[in-house]
């Protein structure tokens, strides 16, 4: 995927010097292994800062809502879906965005890799031929790339951008026959008490930093319900009541909008499995309405429209 770096730089130089766009949103190489920094490049002279590898997991669509300029944006499959959701929700206009589509083989899971290193610190990471070679002080480890992916990437069925103005590479093969919801099915099989305990345990480490919310390209409300202060809707402590309320409300607000890009889990500093909430809603929306968020520009989200013939067999 490093091959995209040169193409991104070339496209950025061209689009900026031809004044097709005012800025390019991409990544520059991070200051530490396994995380790159989102960057806004406004001049062709700075296009060579742009960079691409398997540590570009951050969903760049998060930087689009409410922009007023014309921007090019590097978009993986998931980012492109979030751009579609934002266009459908009128957060950005289609003609403002020039999508540089990045067919994706999945992004590396920094947390998973660090855990498998058992406290040893990586100093460099190389991706070669489906393998990830990690070196640090006095060690070198090679993993198969598939063992290093973010969990949402390993079950991704939209690796190719769903919209693009220019592709950075040939489309990649989509994964087929993926069982996306074995974990959700397990929770569905629990009795209410077990289910409650399961979710209480998941969020027991929450520190209410809102990294999950702020990393989410779909969390763009001018004032989040958590920040409403006149009147205040909910408590801000780490008491389980407050934590639970926050996570359930946030998740429900993403029903039919979440693309399972994994931004929330990637951002969480304490490792909460936030997708356990949103995946259930994603599954329900798919089953009840046959809808996948961010796949088509010409379809309204199911929770945004009323049709007399809407399925209601799940209403009990």
Partner 1 sequence: MTEMYIPKEKLAGVVEDLIGRQRVYGPVFDGAYHNFEEIKSAGALDLAYSNTRLSAKGLFHPHSERMFEYSLASGDPEAGVLKETEKDYSPRVVLGMRPCDARALKIMDRNFNSPQYGDPWWVKRIEATTIVGLACNAPCGTCFCTTAGSGPFDDSGLDAMLVDLGEGYLARAVTDKGSALLSQISKGSAAPADAAQKADALRRSAEAAIGLQFDVGSITGKDSMELFNSPIWEEIQFACINCGTCTFLCPTCWCFDIQDETHGEHGDRIRIWDSCMFPLFTLHGSGHNPRQNKAQRVRQRFMHKLRYYPEKYGDGIACTGCGRCVRACPVNIDIRNVARLMSSSACVRPA
DSSP string, 33-44: TTEEEEEEE-SG
Among 3, 115, 178, 190, binds partner 1 (CB under 8 A): 115
| Closest approach of partner 1 to the CB of residue 176, in Å | 31
Stretch that binds partner 1, among 57-65, 141-149, 168-176, 254-262 (CB under 8 A): 57-65
Rg (CA), the chain: 20
CB 274 within 8 A of CB 284: no
Stretch that binds partner 1, among 80-88, 160-168, 224-232, 303-311 (CB under 8 A): 224-232
| Closest approach of partner 1 to the CB of residue 305, in Å | 30
CB 4 within 8 A of CB 95: no
Nearer to partner 1, 128 or 209 (CB): 209
What is the Cα–Cα distance from 15 to 10, expressed in whole angstroms?
9
Among 69, 197, 201, 227, binds partner 1 (CB under 8 A): 227
Nearer to partner 1, 10 or 121 (CB): 121
Determine the 3-state secondary structure of 116 from DSSP. Answer: helix
What is the Cα–Cα distance from 182 to 163, expressed in whole angstroms?
29
What is the Cα–Cα distance from 249 to 29, expressed in whole angstroms?
35
Among 37, 48, 127, 151, binds partner 1 (CB under 8 A): 37
For 218, phi then psi, to 5°, come to: -95, -10
Binders of partner 1 among residues 139 to 168 (CB under 8 A) are none
Among 83, 85, 211, 251, binds partner 1 (CB under 8 A): 211
Nearer to partner 1, 174 or 239 (CB): 239
Per-residue buried b or exposed e for 179-198, using 16+ beta carbons within 10 Å of the residue's own CB? ebbebbeebeeeeeeeeeee
| Closest approach of partner 1 to the CB of residue 274, in Å | 13
**β partners of residue 202:** none
Q: Does residue 62 bind partner 1 (CB under 8 A)? A: yes
Segment holding 124, helix H or strand E:
strand 122-128
Return the closest-CA partner of residue 77 out of 145, 6, 169.
169
Distance of CA 15 to the CA centre of its chain: 26
Among 17, 93, 146, 214, binds partner 1 (CB under 8 A): 214
Q: Does residue 185 bind partner 1 (CB under 8 A)? A: no
What is the Cα–Cα distance from 80 to 172, expressed in whole angstroms?
15
Among 12, 16, 50, 58, binds partner 1 (CB under 8 A): 58
| Closest approach of partner 1 to the CB of residue 4, in Å | 18
Site string for partner 1, 235-274 (x = CB under 8 A): xxxxx--------------------------xx-xxx---
Q: Does residue 221 bind partner 1 (CB under 8 A)? A: no
CB 222 within 8 A of CB 191: no
Residues lying near partner 1 in the complex (CB under 8 A) are found at 30-32, 35-40, 58, 62-63, 111, 115, 119, 121, 123, 205, 207-211, 213-215, 227, 229, 232, 235-239, 266-267, 269-271
């Amino acid at each position: 995927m490093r091959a995209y770096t040169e193409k991104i730089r070339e496209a950025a130089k061209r689009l900026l010097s031809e004044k097709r766009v005012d800025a390019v949103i991409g990544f520059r190489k991070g200051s530490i292994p396994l995380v790159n920094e989102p960057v806004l490049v406004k001049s062709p002279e700075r296009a060579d800062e742009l960079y691409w590898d398997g540590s570009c997991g951050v969903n760049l669509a998060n930087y689009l809502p409410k922009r007023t300029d014309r921007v090019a944006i590097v978009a993986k499959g998931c980012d492109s879906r979030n751009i579609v959701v934002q266009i459908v929700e009128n957060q950005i206009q289609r003609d403002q965005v020039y999508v540089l589509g990045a067919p994706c083989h999945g992004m590396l899971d920094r947390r998973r890799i660090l855990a498998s290193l058992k406290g040893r610190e990586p100093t460099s990471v190389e991706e070669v031929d489906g393998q990830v070679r990690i070196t640090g002080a006095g060690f070198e480890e090679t993993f198969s790339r598939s063992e290093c992916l973010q969990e949402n990437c390993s079950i991704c069925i939209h690796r190719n951008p769903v919209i693009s103005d220019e592709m950075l590479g040939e489309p990649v093969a989509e994964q087929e026959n993926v069982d996306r919801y074995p974990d959700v099915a397990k929770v569905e099989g629990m009795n209410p008490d077990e289910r409650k305990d399961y979710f209480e345990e998941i969020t027991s480490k929450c520190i209410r930093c809102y990294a999950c919310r702020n990393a989410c390209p779909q969390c763009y409300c001018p004032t989040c319900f958590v920040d409403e202060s006149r009147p205040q809707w909910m408590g801000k402590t780490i008491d389980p009541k407050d934590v639970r309320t926050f996570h359930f409300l946030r998740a429900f607000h993403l029903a039919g909008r979440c693309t399972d890009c994994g931004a929330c889990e990637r951002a969480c500093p304490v490792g909460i499995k936030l997708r356990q909430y949103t995946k259930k809603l994603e599954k329900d929306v798919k089953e009840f309405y046959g809808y996948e968020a961010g796949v088509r520009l010409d379809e309204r989200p199911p929770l945004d429209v009323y049709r007399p013939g809407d399925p209601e067999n799940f209403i009990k």
